[in-house]
């Protein structure tokens, strides 16, 4: 449940995983994870054998006893947990128990539209998150407005609210304690972060204008905002590099690490995971299946298929960023050849480099409520409904209450 076989990466791996449990029949759910559908299945004792979901949801379901701890699976099938990236494993670990095998590994890096930056006499290196004052100044320089006052180019998009945890970490703030039990959303330093990032949007015309302009972008087509010069710089998920490689292989961009105020790279890693519901009736087969899906040879086989496909289409293959570092090592050393595409070569190297500095949000028994609390707070500030201090105080109250209630029921 929660997984679709939409591309060659999925179909190749599913074929190998199915083979590993053959002749046991496997049926793929086909659509995104749906909490309502999952609850109905669990309540009617027809839980699927395997679910695929956002790693940030694992704590919520694990705390309710809905997921099978994978200790027996890991030990029984000799799964090498060291092959997975530590930040991803931390995200699926609650109270010392592992509840999922990491699948994807989404990193955040900074993308600069070289043409836009040079058009105002700046260099890509002038986009520097370490120097917040300079970044504000550069943002003002890069932003353009049409004659009617509407935004016609976003100078720097801080990607709020979704990248708030990245900005927080880059400012030395941990939004949730390592054990996932203490929210830290009313930290005065976090208030400053919110003031600063919302200020970046306000100086470009305000949330309404920036969001409306952003909503008009064709992010996944050849007329994407970098090609149309609608966006000068922004932090972005690494998978977007694959999109650009596919639709705009000649894009003139620079990819750099996002940094903290001391200039040290910071990467917020998220992604999806495979888990086994406690009600699964075929736990051994489920374990074998998810082990194979996340195993290095499986990822490498799928990457080979995609690389060949891209080559046949005359397109760029920028690799697959997986939660399995052993797989990544082979994929990026043997299959990704970008000598003739220096922009993408630098981009891929940057992503690989920042992975070492990645952090993840700790698993929490109220992970879903926690995420909703800070996201809603940022949105209230963006839309002018509340001031940062007030919004984050409310978020802290909501998040901590949800965590305390979840712990009480554990």
Partner 1 sequence: MSTVLPEQGSRIRSWVTGFRRRETLAAYGFLSPWIIGFLVFMAAPMIASLVLSLTDYDALRPANFVGMSNYQQLLLDPKVRVSLANTLIYTVMMVPGTMVIALALALLLAKVGRRSVGFFRTVFYLPVVTPKVAVGVLFLLLFNGQVGLINSALSLVGIHGPQWSTDPLWVKPGLVLMHLWAVGGTVVIYLAALKNVPRDLYEAATIDGASAWQRFRRVTLPMISGALFFTFIVETIAGLQTFDEAYAAFYGSAASATYSSDAALFYLIYLFQQAFQFLHLGYASAMAWLLFIVIIVITAIQVRLSRRFVYYEGR
Which residues contact partner 1 (rule: CB under 8 A)?
Answer: 35-36, 39, 42-43, 60-61, 64-66, 148-151, 161-162, 207-209, 211-213, 215-216, 366, 368-369, 372, 375-376, 379-380, 382-385, 394, 398, 402, 405, 409
What is the b/e burial string over 255-293, where b = at least 16 CB atoms within 10 angstroms of the residue's CB?
bbbbbbeeeebbbbbbbbbbbbbbbbebbbbbbbbbbbb
Query: In the complex with partner 1, which residue's Cβ is closer, 181 or 326?
Result: 181
Length of the chain: 410
Angle at which helices 367-382 and 388-409 cross, to 10°: 170
* Nearest distance in Å: CB 319, partner 1: 24
Cα-flanking dihedrals φ and ψ of residue 365, to 5°? -65, -15
Query: In the complex with partner 1, which residue's Cβ is closer, 177 or 383?
Result: 383
* Nearest distance in Å: CB 410, partner 1: 10
Query: In the complex with partner 1, which residue's Cβ is closer, 46 or 383?
Result: 383
Cα 207 → chain centroid: 23
Query: In the complex with partner 1, which residue's Cβ is closer, 25 or 149?
Result: 149
Cα 84-89-373 angle, rounded to 5 deg: 140
Angle at which helices 342-354 and 239-247 cross, to 10°: 170
Query: In the complex with partner 1, which residue's Cβ is closer, 44 or 133?
Result: 44
Cα 372-373-375 angle, rounded to 5 deg: 65
* Nearest distance in Å: CB 236, partner 1: 14
Query: In the complex with partner 1, which residue's Cβ is closer, 93 or 272?
Result: 272
* Nearest distance in Å: CB 405, partner 1: 8
Three-state secondary structure call for residue 27:
coil
Cα 311 → chain centroid: 27
* Nearest distance in Å: CB 409, partner 1: 6
* Nearest distance in Å: CB 298, partner 1: 26
């Amino acid at each position: 449940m929660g997984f679709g076989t939409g591309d060659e990466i999925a179909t190749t791996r599913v074929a190998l995983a199915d083979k590993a449990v053959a002749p046991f029949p496997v049926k793929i759910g086909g659509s995104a994870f749906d909490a309502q559908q999952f609850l109905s299945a669990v309540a009617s004792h027809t839980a699927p054998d395997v679910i695929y979901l956002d790693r940030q949801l694992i704590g919520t379901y694990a705390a309710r006893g809905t997921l099978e701890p994978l200790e027996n699976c890991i030990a029984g099938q000799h799964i090498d947990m060291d092959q997975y990236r530590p930040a991803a494993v931390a995200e699926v670990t609650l109270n010392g128990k592992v509840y999922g095998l990491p699948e994807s590994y989404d990193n955040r890096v900074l993308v600069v539209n070289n043409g836009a930056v040079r058009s105002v006499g700046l260099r890509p290196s002038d986009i520097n998150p370490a120097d917040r004052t300079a970044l504000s100044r550069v943002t003002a320089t890069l932003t353009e407005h049409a004659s009617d006052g509407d935004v016609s180019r976003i100078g720097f998009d801080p990607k709020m609210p979704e990248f708030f945890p990245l900005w927080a970490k880059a400012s030395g703030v941990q939004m949730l304690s390592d054990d996932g039990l203490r929210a830290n959303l009313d930290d005065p330093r976090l208030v400053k972060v919110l003031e600063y990032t919302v200020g970046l949007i306000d100086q470009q015309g305000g949330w309404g204008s920036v969001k409306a302009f952003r909503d008009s972008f064709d992010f996944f087509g050849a007329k994407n905002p970098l090609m149309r010069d609608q966006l000068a710089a922004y932090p972005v998920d690494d998978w977007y590099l694959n999109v650009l490689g596919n639709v705009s292989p000649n894009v003139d961009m620079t990819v750099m690490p996002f940094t903290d105020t001391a200039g040290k790279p910071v990467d917020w890693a998220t992604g999806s995971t495979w888990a086994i519901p406690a009600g699964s009736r075929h736990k051994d087969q489920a374990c074998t299946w998810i082990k194979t899906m996340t195993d290095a040879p499986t990822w490498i086989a799928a990457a080979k298929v995609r690389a060949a496909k891209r080559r046949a289409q005359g397109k760029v293959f920028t690799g697959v960023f997986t939660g399995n570092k052993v797989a990544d090592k082979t994929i990026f050393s043997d299959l990704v050849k970008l000598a003739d595409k220096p922009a993408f070569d630098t981009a891929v190297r940057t992503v690989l480099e920042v992975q070492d500095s990645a952090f993840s949000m700790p698993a929490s028994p109220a992970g879903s409520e926690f995420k909703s609390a800070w996201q809603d707070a940022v949105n209230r500030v963006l839309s002018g409904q509340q001031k940062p201090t007030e919004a984050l105080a409310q978020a802290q109250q909501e998040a901590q209450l949800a965590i305390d209630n979840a712990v009480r029921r554990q």
